[in-house]
Amino acid sequence: MRRRTFIKAGGAATLAGLLAGCASPNEGSSDPTQEPADTTEGTTVESGDEETTADSSYSVSMTPVGEVTFDGVPEKTAVYMPGYADMLVALGHGDAVASVGQKSRFHTGPYDELDGVSIDKSNLVDLVNSGVTRETFLNIDADFHLVDPNWLTNVFEISTEDIEFLEERVGPFFGNTIFRRTDAWHDYEYYTLYGAFEKVAQVFQETERYEAFASFHDDYIDRVSQDVPSEGPRGALVWGGEDNPTSFSPYHLSGEGANKKSFHDLNVRDAIANSDVEALSESQRSKIDYETLLELDPEVLFVRGHEAKSREEFRNTVVSFMQDHDTASRITAVENGDVYRGGPIFLGPIQHLFLTERFATSLYPETFSGELFDRDELADIVTS
C-alpha cells in the first residue's frame, strides 16, 4: 500500500494537554472530548472514488491524505476513533481492528442485539494508555492506519516525520476527523458519517455491503422522520462525567460533526447556540454551572460521559443528584425528568441506529416505543 500526500497542518500539542481536555483515560472522568460548531473552509485535497488498475491494485482518495493505492484489503488496522472501528464492524471486518484511542469510549453494547455481530475489545490496544507514539504504532505493526494523521500531529507529541516513518515502515494513513468540527487546524474538507463510511467501504472492498447498510439507514430514518415534529424540544448538550456533576462543558447541538447526527435526525433544537455561551473547542475550555443552565432553561438535557451506565444507573446517580440540587431542580428538563445520557463522543453507523432509537423513544414516547428497526435484517447485512 502506497501513500501519496497528506496535509501537514499545525504543530503537535503536548500529551499533558490531551489528557487535560481532548481525551480522558476513562468515560467516568470529567475531561471532555469536544466536537461542536462548524468551520469547514480551508485547504482541500480533492476527494475521488475508487479506481481499479490492471494489476488488480486499487486506489481510494480521502482528504486530507489524498490518494492511497492498495494491493489488497487491509488485514490489520490501527484505529484511533471508535466510530471508525464501528464502521469496520458494520462492514464485516471487525476482526481487522487492532486498536482504538480508548477502549472505554468504544461502546459495543449494540452488537449484543445483533446475532453474529461482535468484537473482542480485550485484544485491542488502548492507544492512550499505551502512549500515542511512533513506538506504539510500530509495536501494533498494522498494515493500515485508519487515522487522520493531522489528529495525531495536533493533539499528541507525534510529528509529521513520525507519520512518514510509519508509512514507510508499517503502512499508510487514511481518515478524516469527522466527530467534531471545532478544531482550528482542521481547515480542510469534512465528511459526514456516511461520507466517511463510504470511503472506508471502498478501502475494504465492501461497497455492496455499504450500499445495503446505507439503504437500511435511509429507510429507517425516513420512517422515523415522518412522525417527528418539525420543531422538537429545546435541548442542551453538555459534558458532565461525574455522578454528582456541578459544572459542565457545553456543546452546540446545532453544530456539525458525526456525533450530532441523531439530534439532527430528530429535530432537537439547540438551547445554547444563540446564547453567549461558547461551545467547547480545542482552545475554548470554559465551563458552565447550574445557574447558567437555569438561565438557558432547556426542555431536555443531554449529559455526556455516562455511556457505560444503564438508563437506570444514570437516573439513580446523575438525575437523582440534579433533582435534589436547589438550582438544578428548577431547570425545566430536570423538573420534568427529561435528562438523558448524551451518547458516544465517537459515533459509528451501527451505534447511530441504536442511539437514534434511544433518543426517539425518550423524546417522543407517545409516538415511538420498542424496537424501531429490524435487528435480524441489520445483522444479515453485517454478517452476510
pLDDT higher for 290 or 278?
A: 290
Q: For the chain, what is the mean pLDDT?
A: 87
CA angle 135, 69, 62 (to 5 degrees): 80
Nearest to 110 by CA among 356, 368, 274: 356
Task: For residue range 286-307, list pLDDT tens digits in order.
Answer: 789 999 999 999 999 999 999 9
Encode burial over 256-291: b for 16+ CB neighbours within 10 A, e otherwise. bbbbbbbbebbebbbbbbeeebbbbbbeeeebbebe
pLDDT for residue 47: 37
For the structural domain made of 15-206, what CATH number should be given?
A: 3.40.50.1980
Q: Note if the bond before 64 is cis, omega within 30 degrees.
A: yes
Q: How confident is the model at residue 284 (pLDDT cuts 50, 70, 90)?
A: low
3-class DSSP assignment, residue 188: coil
SS3 state at 146: strand
Q: Where are the domains of the chain?
A: 15-206, 223-383
pLDDT band at 26 (very low <50, low <70, confident <90, very high): very low
- Above 60 in pLDDT, residue 52? no
Q: In what order do the strands lie in the sheet with 144-146?
A: 125-126, 97-100, 77-79, 144-146
Instruction: Indicate whether 8 pLDDT > 50.
Output: no
At residue 73, the pLDDT reads 97
Fold entry, domain 223-383: Rossmann fold (3.40.50)
Same fold, 15-206 and 223-383: yes
What mean pLDDT do residues 228-249 have? Answer: 95
Question: pLDDT tens digit string along 162-177?
Answer: 999 999 999 999 999 9
pLDDT digits (tens, 9 = 90+) for 96-142: 999 999 999 999 999 999 999 999 999 999 999 999 999 999 999 99
Lowest mean pLDDT among 13-27, 46-60, 110-124, 136-150: 13-27
If one counts every other C-beta atom within 10 angstroms of the C-beta of residue 306, the result is 24
> Above pLDDT 70, what percent of the chain?
84
pTM: 0.86
